Every structure is written in C-alpha cells, then in structure tokens.
A = this chain, B = another copy of it.
Amino acid sequence: MSNKYLRSGIAASVLCAASVLNVTASAGTDFTGAKADKNHYNVIFHIDAGGEATIKKTLNNIENLLNDPRLKGKVNVELLANSKGFAVYVKNNGFEEKLAHLQKEGVILSQCANTLKELHVDRKDLYPFISIVPSGMGEITIRESQGWAYIHPTPPDTAL
C-alpha cells in the first residue's frame, strides 16, 4: 500500500462512513490497553539500520514509552545499536541533543564493539557519552534472559 493508496483509502472511507459491518461494530471498544501490574519495567530497543528516518522513529518510540501514562517513572530503557544502526551514535548526526535528553531520563546508550571492528568505525567518531558492549547480540540475549522486553522498530520505507 503506497501512501497514495493509503490516502485515497482514507478519502474513500470518509465517503463511505456508513459501511460498517454491524457484526463487529461494537467489538473491541471495551479494551483500552493492557494493565500495568508491576512496579518496574525494563526494555531493550534494538536499532540495526541507519538512516535519519530510522533513528528519528526509534528515538521517538523510546520517548513515547517513557511517557506512557501506565508506565511513567517505572521504565528502564537500553538502546542497543549494531550493524548500520551505529549511525544513531555518529557525531554531528543531528541527534546529540535528543540522545543526551534520553540519557538524562536514564536511557542506557550502548554500541556493539563488533560493529566498530567490522565496519571500520572509529570510536572517536561516535559520541563520547555512549557505552561500548562486547556484542550487540550478547547484550540483547542477556537482557531478555533477565526479563527485559525486546522491541525492534522497523526502519521506515522512505519511499512511502
């Protein structure tokens, strides 16, 4: 579905607002989201693709998580970058302020050491305030084994 298709779909829906399936019209309205029944939550976000849109989306996702009224003040987050995702930490990428803000809110900013070696990235070209971890895959594995949730946003198709 191209954006164009999507938009025309929305436009069409406005014209056909009455064409709702009666059988399902009232379903789903009772559910307003899972209930947060714990005192604390941990989440590891995985970014392994570059591109401004991917970075923006991932950081926005984290911000939205921190602001979810169900979880406000109860969530601990780590952002793990590997592969082309190291772009999120490259100096002067335009996201320094946003990253510093997230870090102030407690977000751990971690970078896979293997990626630096394999993609010939100089540590000095990344923001100094991030952390290097032995491997991104190991980091995710350990976190999940400790009960952390794993969230991996899809890189947006910039063609859409």
Contact = CB atoms under 8 A, between A and B. Distances in A.
Contacts of A124: 14, 17
In the complex this chain forms, how many copies of it are found?
3
Contact of A155 (B54, B108, B121, B154): B154
Given A48-B154, A145-B149, A71 B13 contact: no
23 contacts: A1-B52, A1-B54, A6-B50, A10-B122, A14-B125, A17-B91, A20-B128, A21-B96, A28-B108, A28-B109, A28-B128, A29-B129, A31-B131, A32-B133, A32-B134, A33-B110, A34-B146, A43-B141, A61-B136, A68-B135, A140-B149, A143-B149, A145-B149
Given A3-B50, A34-B143, A48-B154, 20 more contacts: A6-B50, A9-B90, A13-B91, A19-B91, A19-B92, A24-B100, A24-B129, A25-B129, A31-B131, A33-B138, A36-B142, A43-B144, A61-B82, A64-B138, A65-B137, A68-B134, A68-B137, A141-B149, A145-B147, A152-B152
